[in-house]
Structure formats: structure tokens, C-alpha cells
Amino acid sequence: MKITKQHDIKDCGLHVMQFFVKKYTKNDVSLSYLKLKANYGKDGISLAGLKDIASEFNLVFDTYKVEINNLFSIAKVDFPLVCLIKEEGLQHYLILEKIHRDVFYFQDSRVGTSIKIHRDQFEKIFTGYISFVYLDENKVIKNEQFVIDNKLKSLINIDSTSFVLIISALLSTLLAFGSTFFIKLVFDFVIPNNLLKTHIILFVAFLWVNFVRFSNNFFKNTLTKKLSNKTEIAIKDAFFRKIQSVSLDELNRLDRNEILKRLSYISMVADFQSTFLYIFWSELVALMISTMLLIWISYQLFLMILCVSVLSFLIKLVFNYFVEKKYAEYLNKAHVFSLNELENVYSLNSFRTKNEVNYKELIRQKSMLEYKAIDYTLNNKNNLSLFVTDLVIGNLGLITVFIGVFLILKNQISIGEVVLVLTASNYFTQPISSLSGLIASKKIIDKHVDMLNFVFCLNTHELNDKGIVIEKINNICLNDIDFGYDKSNPVIKIKGLMLDSNTQIFGKNGSGKSTLLNLLNYTYFSTRGKIYINENESEFINNSELKNSTLLINPHVFVQTGTVYDYLTCGKNELANILLENVQRYKLDKVMEEMNINFNSYSRDNGQNFSAGQRQLIILLKLFTKKYKLILLDEAFENLETRVFNKIKEKIKEFQSDAMFIEISHSRKYIYNNKGVDFDKVNQAN
């Protein structure tokens, strides 16, 4: 992919933007359109200006000031990136694609192609500013619904890649047929005429044919794997974008294991779609050529081969029909079995009494036996299908020779032609078998595609990113709020509630306190009623910005595998700098030492290798990586001993002094203790 050449000295930034829009969204955006969106300064378009333009295309422009040595430690996945240089008094943007030893490889809009600059030269012109550019996965592209299309029309759709595959399929088939003529030429031409030199020439020629054929197969396998990877990556990216953008009440239509099950189907779908076109065309062409060849050699032998092949095809269709009928039940049993195995592993740290262990093992074994029973049944049907078709197709060679002898004795066919029929018949029966298998596979893949498309069709609620920006929350007002996971059974029903200061919510278990915090954290969207923030109705607020300035800490927070430092900073230099400043200011390292953890401590299995108190402290340290506007704490300190809680409480209060706190704690461990709300009285659903 090449950058376009600039004609205006101030437009280098727009050509860079055009490059990244094409790379990440596959869309061609005109330079004229970008010019309308740009704000020109005396030096052209600033990095901040490019960032504003990028947001329109769901691209993120992350800019950093770095030393040239830092460029050598940038991960390969983060390339290409933007570098700002200053040459002859003029600022200019380059796209850095890679660094090899001391040579920097750029795309330069001044020449419209790639250039190389040695480190010594680059060091003189580098301003120190770089920008990482990537697709914002949190933004849902409007009016675009990703679904997997597995219809035949889509599978045989011809684009540049599929055209190459079709050519490869045709070439492979023609070369395969060409190689079969070696036997006929040897038996009917070389041996009867004692042509030794011709025999050597033919041998070398057909060796070359086979070399080209096998090279073509190597190319095909490489291309289909690349296509499969591309398809799998696209589907998985869309899958994770979807499940991360839908509300939890919508996602609750599926449990975690249902999501994992669907995720496991993606590679199967990608492999099928990437190989379908090649198999379809190569087998179809092979069938057509072998048909013409067999008819040309002997229509009697062709009719016999046709009858045997049709019989084999019908047998396979019948068996595939019975397998398909049982496949839905097979998937269900496999899911239940997998679920019980996972629950057995998840519960290893739970009750381990004899009764508990025996009960879990009983359930696991029952589901395993049910799954293995249907698996065995389907396997038997497949074996029986293979047995019957082998009986039919496996004897085709014997039948061909048997009938061929009579035709030879009647001088209607030569020995070489019989040998050629034996070879060519494989190119007739194999495509029929392969195409019938392709039909059966498509029906099974269709079921997987339907299950994946169910996820892609979940309703996505896009947060408004154009409204009023709330600088500081002074009050939150809830009017006529009605929410329930089941609409006929509301969990929260609030006529009116004003939260005009830091608030502590208390009430009995199951009264809806945690659900309220999830509503304020934009976790659920199927809510009826109005929420006002600083007297502004929520639909007119920049909810996207407020969501990113809200933090909910509850017992369900997941701790990523990796170091504590990586978990807290998310690979962002901005968060890392704030955290390190706060470590020095508030002596957080001393608190961590008391709890026997540090930034290099490694989390495994959702932090299960830490004690409950250590894990909770790690999560709470998120409060020192960024200034938040709304902090929601649900049982956030229950596992900390009072001494540690009192230490960290004051530090949180000081750093997050501008935030509004809404807290739940059965042990009364609050950051603030100024306004209590009895939720049993407020929530009319109780």
C-alpha cells in the first residue's frame, strides 16, 4: 500500500490521514473532503487537528514525545506510525513502516512512495513527536451491521483473490489430467514402436508438468491459509467489538459458555469459506473434463462409471441427511459436556467434601456418557456410509477392467485407453464425492453461521459522543426509573431520587443496590425513565465521554493475566505517568509492601494467585491512574483489613477530590460518610 503524492506543501498530514483511513477502514476518502475538515495553521495541520479528523473515521491518534532510541523498542504490531520531522524550517509528516538496524523505512507524500533514511540523518530532522494510529474498537460504525454471509452466491463471488484461486484450480485440474496421458503414451506409442529416446523426453516433460502442478498446489495452500486467517481475524474482531459494545442485559441472552462455544466455531467457518471456492471450481472443472474424456475414450465405460458414481452419491446424501438431523442434538450434548467439565475445573477451590466432589463427578460423567453416546452413533453412521461407498467405489477398478477386457477383445478399445480410463475415472468419482461432502459441510456450517449471526444481531446501544460535556458532576436525578432483567418482574422502580453529594446506599441483600450502580455505569440500557446529570437529560449529554470518566469497582471486576503494572496502566504512557507520580506522592509502594505485592507481581487466572485482600488492593489502585468524575464503589473494601483501608481511604479521597462517590458497603467501609440512602424505601420494586 502506497501513500498518495502531495501537490500542496501543507497537505502532507491529509495524505497521511488518507493512507490510514484506507488501511483500517478499506474506504477511499477524497483529499477534497479531508481539506474541508482540516484546520490549517501557519505550519499546516497540527497533530491535534489530525486527531480531530481521525475521530470522524473511528481512528485514534495517540501522540507521544519520545527520544529516537525509544523507536527501536516499539513493537512490530504498532507499525506503521506517524513521525513529525522538521526540514529546512518546514514541518512534515512521514509514515514510519519499519526499522532495520540503523535504517528507517518511510512512506513520504512528497514523492508518493517509500524512502529510506539512515539514523544519523533522521536524528537531525526528527522533532521527537510520534503518533500511533489504530481503529477505535469502542466506536460502533453507524449504519453498519456485520453479519456472516454463507449463501452460495456469496461463496462463489469473484473478486481479485478468488479469481486467482479459480485460475489456480483450473491449472491444477488441467495439469492433473495432463499427467495421466503419460501412461497412455507409453503403452500405446512408446513400447509398440521401441522409442527409447522419446520415452526419456516424455519422462522429463511429465516430471516438469508434475513440478508445476505441485508448485501450484503449494501456492494454493498458502493463499487459502492466508485467506482463512484474514476471514477469521475479521470475524473475531467483529465478534469482540459486538460483545464489548452491547449492554449486559442484552448480552444476558447468552451465558459465558454459549459465547465461548460460538467463538470456537469461527475458525471452522473461516476455513470452510476460504477453501469452498477452490474446491467448488476445481472439482467442477475436473468433473466436466473427465466426463468429456471418458465419453471420448469409451461411452460404454463412462455409463458404467456414471451409474456407480450416482449410486455412491445417493448413498452419501442419505447418510448425510441422518447425520444432519442429529447434529443439533450433538452440539447441545457437546455444549453441556463442555460446560460441566469447565464447572468442575472452576470449582476446584470450592467445597471439596466427599458429597460435593461425588455430586459434581456424577453430573460430569452423566453428561460425558450422553455426549459420547450420540458421538458414537454419528461415528457409526459415518463408518457405515464409508463402508457402503467403499464397496461401491472400491470395486470400480475391477469392474472397469472386467468390462474393458471384453471391449479389448472386440477391438473397441486399446490397453492404453483402459489404463487411461482407470486413471481418469478417479477424476470423475472423486469430484462427485467431494461435491457431496461440500454440500453436507455447508449445511453444518450454516448452523454455526446462524449461531454466530445471532450474536452479531444483538442490539447495540451507541453512546452519544456529541452532547454536553460534563466537567464536574454536581447532582444526579433519577425520575420514574423502571428496570428489570425480565420486564414483567422489575428489579428497580424509583419514582424520584436526587443524589446531590457523595452518597452511601444501604439496604437488604437483593434490593437492587448493585443494579443501580450498573445503570449509572451504562452497563444496562433497557431502562425506562429519565436520568438527569446537572439538570441535563442524559440523552443530551456526551455519554461516551462520561462513561470513560466513570469507574465501577465491584466483586466482579476481572484481573487480567500479566503484571500488576500492565493491568493498571493498560499500556498507556499517560496512565503510567499519573500512577508513578501518585506512587511518590502518596507512598503507595509502602502500602503495597505491607500487602506483599509490587508492580512486577504477576496475576494468573483472574488474580486467583493473590489473596482476597491483595487482589482488592490491586483493583483499587486503578483509582490512582486517572481523575474520574463518577466513582461507584460496590463492596470495594470488604477484604481489606481496617488498618490498610484507613490508609488508602485518605489517599483516594485526596486524589479523587473532584469526583462524586456513590458507595455500597455492608461493613460500612465508606470513603465518605455524609449522606445515607435507605434503598429499601426508595426502590418501590421491593
User: Do the Cβ atoms of 592 and 640 come closer than 8 Å?
Assistant: no
CA angle 639, 643, 648 (to 5 degrees): 80
HSE, CB side, 13 Å, CA atoms: give it for residue 17. Answer: 30
* Helical ranges in 246-347 per DSSP H: 248-251, 256-297, 299-346
Q: Where are the domains of the chain?
A: 12-135, 152-298+413-456, 476-682
Q: How far is CA 63 from CA 60, 81, 119, 133, in A?
A: 10, 10, 21, 9
Rounded Cα distance, 567 and 172, in Å: 51
Q: Which residues of the chain have pLDDT under 50?
A: 140-143
User: Do the Cβ atoms of 44 and 91 come closer than 8 Å?
Assistant: yes
Closest CA to 285 of 181, 174, 157, 210: 174
* Dihedral sign of CA atoms 374, 380, 384, 385 in order: positive
Q: How far is CA 507 from CA 91, 252, 479, 556, in A?
A: 61, 25, 20, 20
DSSP output for 43-103: TB--HHHHHHHHHHTTEEEEEEE--GGGGGGS-GGG-SEEEEEEETTEEEEEEEEEEETTE
CB atoms within 10 A of CB 672: 15
Exposure letters 620-646 (e unless 16+ CB within 10 A, then b) = bbbbbbbebbbbbbbbbbebbeeebbe
Task: Note the Cα 132 to chain centre separation in Å.
Answer: 21
pLDDT score recorded for residue 86: 92
User: Do the Cβ atoms of 518 and 248 come closer than 8 Å?
Assistant: yes
Question: What are φ and ψ of residue 323, in 5° steps?
Answer: -65, -45
Strand partners, 340: none
Query: What kind of fold does domain 12-135 have according to CATH?
Result: Cathepsin B; Chain A (3.90.70)
DSSP output for 148-194: ---SHHHHT---HHHHHHHHHHHHHHHHHHHHHHHHHHIIIIIHHHT
Instruction: Name, in order, each residue with C-beta under 8 angstroms of 43's C-beta and a sequence gap of 6 or more.
Output: 10, 90, 91
Q: Which CATH number fits domain 476-682: 1.10.630.10, 3.40.50.300, 3.10.250.10, 3.20.20.70?
A: 3.40.50.300
Residue 322 cell numbers, joined: 441422518
Task: Name the CATH superfamily housing domain 152-298+413-456.
Answer: ABC transporter type 1, transmembrane domain (1.20.1560.10)
pLDDT score recorded for residue 260: 86
Q: What global pTM score does this model have?
A: 0.68
Q: Is 674 exposed, middle or buried (0-12, 13-18, 19+ CB in 10 A)?
A: exposed
Strands 528-533 vs 536-537: parallel, antiparallel or unpaired? antiparallel
Rounded Cα distance, 523 and 247, in Å: 5
Rounded Cα distance, 609 and 563, in Å: 12
R_g (Cα) of the chain, nearest Å: 34
User: Do the Cβ atoms of 297 and 413 come closer than 8 Å?
Assistant: yes
DSSP output for 276-305: HHHHHHHHHHHHHHHHHHHHHH-HHHHHHH
Rounded Cα distance, 116 and 437, in Å: 52
pLDDT score recorded for residue 657: 93
pLDDT score recorded for residue 139: 57
pLDDT tens profile 93-149: 999 999 998 999 999 999 889 999 999 999 999 999 999 998 876 554 444 567 888
User: Do the Cβ atoms of 399 and 304 come closer than 8 Å?
Assistant: yes
Residue 184 cell numbers, joined: 497412455
User: Do the Cβ atoms of 455 and 239 come closer than 8 Å?
Assistant: yes
pLDDT score recorded for residue 140: 44
Rounded Cα distance, 588 and 593, in Å: 9
CA angle 109, 115, 119 (to 5 degrees): 120
Closest CA to 337 of 227, 425, 257, 399: 257
